[in-house]
Amino acid sequence: MTTSHYIAGRWVEGQGSDCISVNDPALGQPFAELMAASAAQVDQAVAAARGALPAWKATSASERAGYLRGFAEQLGQRREALISVQMRNNGKPRHEAEIDLDDAIATFNYYAELAAQLPSKNREVPLAAPGFTARTRLEPVGVVGLIVPWNFPLVTSAWKLAPALAAGCTVVLKPSEVTPLVEQAYGQIADALGLPAGVLNIVNGKAETGAALSNHTGLDKLSFTGSNSVGSQVMRSASAQCRPVTLELGGKSAIVVFDDCDVDQAVAWIVAGITWNAGQMCSATSRLLVQDGIADTLLPRLQAALENLRVGNPLTEEVDMGPLTSQAQWLKVASYFATAREEGLQCLAGGRALDRDGWFVSPTLYADVPKDSRLWTEEIFGPVLCARRFATEEQAIAEANDSRFGLVATVCSTDLARAERVADALEVGHVWINSVQAVFVETSWGGTKGSGIGRELGPWGLSAYQSVKHVTRCLG
């Protein structure tokens, strides 16, 4: 795969110095290679987006909506191929890959509807002062750089790409070097739909390519999803140009289980929150706060549920959880197992890498983890759950909020008034009550504190790519 970059409406060979090896994590072996884009090719992609911007932002909202519906339809037509790529390159079980694809399709359809509803005329603004008129108009931010992660590549790119195109922006998309294949579909779809050249550009590469894009003076906005360490570098790049940035970063989220909760339901919600995508989620509810009255009943059942999960190769087995997506992540999670042993943590389930081909680890549960443990405070990005007990509602809220992150949380209680009260008190961007982590395109996504800046999805996702202009005229 040498023609792996989509620039100015053409597929071109990579001219960078890096060869990207694409791996099957269930086997721990590469199955494809591609050459990274050079800095000059990043320049070409940004120039193509800049050149396409005037005509694209002049298109009608209904025309842009038509293209977005086309993206949704074309994703559906490529369904089996895209599911297979995600199973092989990400290690996702089939049911997870299917949900990811459905999420991407729903995102394009949703922003097609929002685009179709965009006002075609200026909106008059009433003024208290006589002798003046004012009007406001929404304009696209301009050329945007989109940098997406490896854990939900098809989904995260849709969350950025669809609203950016709906707003009238042109785009340079940089997929993760770990999972570069599935995003190729967006370039193929652009060709199939006859999307004007330069509106969508895709450049693949490692950190050097990402830096070339985030530092580029030709961008008007950056949107990044990934780790806090890289996010801080992206933010520094944006600050040098004084341009807007959206950052969706890490999390160390809590799931709070009160003693009136149904134990079986609670176990199901807890397991889903820590093992979906093998725990490789910024939203993973990796801190379990369980009330004293239910802890002795819930923890043994949770232990059994984790030990009974089917872990294996999703291409050859019926599994509940696949491998970690990269060797680097496998090594990172294994290092936390070693830290847990050094700290003397009580391991109820897992706590080890599996002795088989590929990058597999066991779903893991530690009990009574101290608040100063690295496993309690740091984002692990794997299926590693740490549990603590609490006595009162006030204690649960205080411990849940005692984190430098603030992305999501889950509350489990049959006392709905209490559940709503606790949800309101949690310092996060999204709370689920008595639910798995169901994410709907109509809602917002993003966090507080160290979990990022800005919001994606819903109308907030569209407004992130719009600029507000006011025109005031004197009547005298």
Tokens 């092989």 map to which residue?
A: 88
**Residue type for 199, please?**
V
CB atoms within 10 A of CB 66: 15
Q: Which of 261, 282, 386, 412 is catalytic?
A: 282
Q: Is 282 an active-site residue?
A: yes
CB atoms within 10 A of CB 54: 9
User: How many whole angstroms separate alpha carbon 353 and alpha carbon 323?
Assistant: 10
Q: What are phi and psi of 405, to 5 degrees?
A: -100, 165
Q: Which of 248, 379, 399, 456 is catalytic?
A: 248
Close Cβ partners of 302 (under 8 Å, ≥ 6 residues apart): 267, 270, 271, 348, 349, 365, 387
User: How many whole angstroms separate alpha carbon 170 and alpha carbon 200?
Assistant: 6
The three-state DSSP-derived secondary structure of the chain is CCCCEEECCEEECCCCCCEEEEEECCCCEEEEEEECCCHHHHHHHHHHHHHHHHHHHHCCHHHHHHHHHHHHHHHHHCHHHHHHHHHHHCCCCHHHHHHHHHHHHHHHHHHHHHHHCCCCCCEECCCCCCCEEEEEEEEECCEEEEECCCCCHHHHHHHHHHHHHHHCCEEEEECCCCCCCCCHHHHHHHHHHCCCCCCEEECCCCHHHHHHHHCCCCCCEEEEECCHHHHHHHHHHHHHHCCCEEEECCCCCEEEECCCCCHHHHHHHHHHHHHHHHHCCCCCCCEEEEEHHHHHHHHHHHHHHHHCCCECCCCCCCCCECCCCCHHHHHHHHHHHHHHHHHCCEEEECCCECCCCCCCECCEEEECCCCCCHHHHCCCCCCEEEEEEECCHHHHHHHHHCCCEECEEEEECCCHHHHHHHHHHCCCCEEEECCCCCCCCCCCECCEECCEECCECHHHHHHCCEEEEEEEEECC
Q: Is 386 an active-site residue?
A: no
User: How many whole angstroms separate alpha carbon 447 and alpha carbon 283?
Assistant: 10
- Active site residues per annotation: 248, 282
